[in-house]
Amino acid sequence: MKVTISVIKADVGSIGGHTKPTPEMMDAVRAELAAGIARGDVIDGRVTHTGDDIAIIMSHTKGVANQDIHVGLAWKAFISATNVAKEQGNYGAGQDLLVDAPSGNVRGAGPAVAEIEFDLLPNHRPAESFMVYAADKCAPGAYNLPLYLAFCDPMHNGGLLLSPRLHEGFTLTIIDMDHKGGDRVIKLDVPERIWDVCALLRDMDRFAIEAIHSRAFPEEQVASISATRLHNIAGKYTGKDDPIALVRNQGIFPAPEELIEPYVIGHYVTGDARGSHTMPIMPVALNTPVAGIFCLPIVSCIGFSMDGNGHFAKNYVDFFGDVTWDATRLHIQQKAIEMRRQGFFGVAMASQTEIAYTGLIDTLKSLDKEFITR
Ligand code: 13P
Ligand code: MG
Ligand code: MG
């Protein structure tokens, strides 16, 4: 049986600023998901939030980029939550819904999408489990470093040495997010090409890992990451690109403990206040609001199991909600405070290219006229 896991996430409004959606908005999305299950479009699903972004996690048999799932369910659900947000006077109602009515699928219309279609339970995969990462106040390149470390670096993932299947390596699909008019992608096999991978991924504002496939079983996709830039769609700053990632785990893929290990670093990413600064990303429990200084970037990670009919196990594991991450959080908060000490100077503010979509560019343009050449 071919099954697709689709995760579609959008920010359609929040309480008291860019913090979290209201329970009534979440209910509106849940109602549309329940209707989708009743129609038979969706097998199973969950609705969660990370910061002010609502994620719909679904299993179905309709394949990726399917209209019934993207538009008939997810877009409709986000419109319904937007209407609730408007009634309630919430901040940024409908923020990520950048077009009037998307046709076909919602990729490029504002919401973040991660999807994988696969053959459920073939011989080499006797159990199916997967993780959903959702990040708020940062861009898709935020996953570059943790994915690189988990899939390319045995110093972080000893499984690359211990498991014969992992040892065969992976194919990374990296997208040029600055390119307009068609997707510009490169496929690189690791470990052979890791230095080329690094050369691209270090520029997280432009390049992001979009997909990862097994080389032992090339038909098996292990990861899918939403890698589009809202400002490229809207032509101006409209909020951040708050990415999601779907990663299958165990067996022929890395184990969850290997996949989450790099998040202990609290690496600095572009994002936070006005999408225009550099701050460390903090692993948090699911359904955490954004309440840290300068909209500290946050990431949640939950794990699911799926049965042979595409249903999720009733419960999920909240990896970053665990007490073992408390010390990491304190450390990352300390890193954030240190960065904030230098305010807007140098690397504390995002790169020149990133702030090109902000009001600072108008100031620079008008100052340019006052310059004289001596
Ligand atoms: P969101 O994209 O999560 O709404 O954040 C916008 C912002 O600029 C916060 O400072
Ligand atoms: Mg918002
Ligand atoms: Mg957001």
State the DSSP string of 104-142.
Answer: S--TTSSSEEEEEEEESS-TT-SSEEEEEEEEESB-GGG
Cα 275 to averaged position of ligand 1 atoms, centre (Å):
6
**Is 369 part of any domain?**
no
Phi-psi region of 329 (alpha: psi -120 to 50; beta: other; left: phi over 0): alpha
Give the residue whose CA is nearest to atom 5 of ligand 1: 239
pLDDT for the residue numbered 46: 98
27: CATH: 3.30.70
User: How far apart are the C-alpha atoms of 312 and 44, rounded to whole Å?
Assistant: 7
Q: Select from 62, 97, 119 the last residue of a domain.
A: 119
Identify whether residues 147 and 261 lie together within a single domain: yes
> Which ligand has an atom closest to residue 292 CA?
1
Query: Does some domain include residue 270?
Result: yes
* Residues sharing a CB contact under 8 Å with residue 98, sequence separation 6 or more, in sequence order: 109, 110, 230, 233, 234, 238
pLDDT along the chain (374 residues), means of 10: 97 97 98 98 98 98 98 98 98 93 89 97 94 96 98 98 98 93 94 98 96 98 91 63 96 98 98 93 97 94 97 96 98 97 96 84 94 97
Q: Whose CA is nearest to atom 8 of ligand 1?
A: 274
Classify residue 371: in a domain, yes or no. Answer: no
Instruction: Give the contacts of 287 (CB within 8 A, at least 6 positions apart).
Output: 20, 48, 49, 50, 300
Q: Is 227 helix (H, G, I), strand (E, B) or coil?
A: coil
Q: Please give the number of the atom of ligand 1 that sits closest to the Cα of 136.
A: 3
The predicted pLDDT at position 321 comes to: 98
- The reply to whether 281 and 360 lie within a common domain is yes
* 175-203: burial string, b at 16+ Cβ within 10 Å, e else: bebeeeeeeeeeebbbbebbeebeebbeb
Ligand closest to the CA atom of residue 93: 2
336 Cα to the center of ligand 1, angstroms = 17
Determine the pLDDT at residue 103: 86
Nearest 5°: CA angle at 316, between 315 and 321? 130
Closest ligand 1 atom, CA of 273? 10
Across the strands, what pairs with 118? 3
Global pTM reads 0.96
Secondary structure (3-state) at 5: strand
pLDDT value for 228: 82
Q: How many angstroms separate the CA atoms of 65 and 141, rounded? A: 22
Hey, which residues are catalytic here? Answer: 11, 237, 240
Distance 108 CA to ligand 3 centre (A): 16
**Are residue 232 and residue 94 in the same domain, yes or no?**
no
- CA 117-118-124 angle, to 5 degrees, is 160
> What is the C-alpha separation between 154 and 356, in angstroms, rounded?
38
Please name which ligand lies nearest the alpha carbon of 12.
2
Q: Do 208 and 264 have their domain in common?
A: yes
Token representation of residue 18: 């860019």
Q: Is residue 112 part of a domain?
A: yes
Going from the Cα of 238 to the center of ligand 2, the distance in angstroms, rounded, reads: 9
Q: Atom of ligand 1 at shortest distance to CA of 276?
A: 8
Does residue 374 belong to any structural domain of this protein?
A: no
Span from the CA of 296 to the centroid of ligand 2 (angstroms)? 13
Which residues fall inside 5 Å of ion ligand 2, going by CB? 11, 18, 52, 92
Pocket of ligand 1 (CB under 6 A): 11, 18, 51-52, 92, 95, 136-137, 239-240, 242, 273-275, 295
Centroid of ligand 1 to alpha carbon of 19 (angstroms): 9
Q: What is the atom index within ligand 1 of the atom nearest the CA of 14? A: 4
Mapping DSSP to helix (H, G, I), strand (E, B) and coil, where does residue 334 land?
helix
Question: Which pLDDT does position 232 carry in this prediction?
Answer: 63
Tell me the residue length of the chain.
Answer: 374
Residues 242 and 359 in one domain: yes
Residues 306 and 330 in one domain: yes
For residue 314, the 8-state DSSP code is S
Note whether 109 and 126 are same-domain residues.
no
Residues 274 and 350 grouped into a single domain: yes
Residue 248 lies in a domain: yes
Nearest-atom number in ligand 1 for the CA of 92 is 4
Quick one: 42 and 77 in the same domain? yes
Identify whether residues 188 and 289 lie together within a single domain: yes
Ligand index nearest the alpha carbon of residue 239 = 1
Best probe residue, ligand 1, of 11, 50, 97, 340 (max atoms within 8 Å of C-beta)? 11
Total of domains in the chain: 2
What residues are neighbours of ligand 3 (ion), with CB under 5 Å?
Answer: 11, 52-53, 136, 242
What is the domain range of residue 96? 1-119
Of 103, 119, 135, which residue is a domain's last?
119
Question: Residue 229's pLDDT is what?
Answer: 76
Ligand 1 atom closest to 239 (CA):
2
Q: Tell me whether residue 337 is in a domain.
A: yes
Distance CA 170, CA 253 (A): 10
pLDDT at 100: 87
- Spatial distance between the Cα atoms of 239 and 136, rounded to a whole number of angstroms: 10
Q: What CA–CA distance (Å, rounded) separates 312 from 316?
A: 9
Q: How many CB atoms lie within 10 A of CB 63?
A: 13
Residues 197 and 329 in one domain: yes
Atom 6 of ligand 1, nearest CA residue:
239
Distance 155 CA to ligand 1 centre (A): 34
Which of 67, 100, 119 is the endpoint of a domain?
A: 119
Query: Residue 282 in contact with residue 332, Cβ under 8 Å?
Result: yes
Q: Is the dihedral of CA 341, 347, 352, 353 positive or negative?
A: negative
**Do 183 and 252 belong to one domain?**
yes
**pLDDT number for residue 60:** 98
- Kindly state whether residue 11 falls inside one of the protein's structural domains: yes
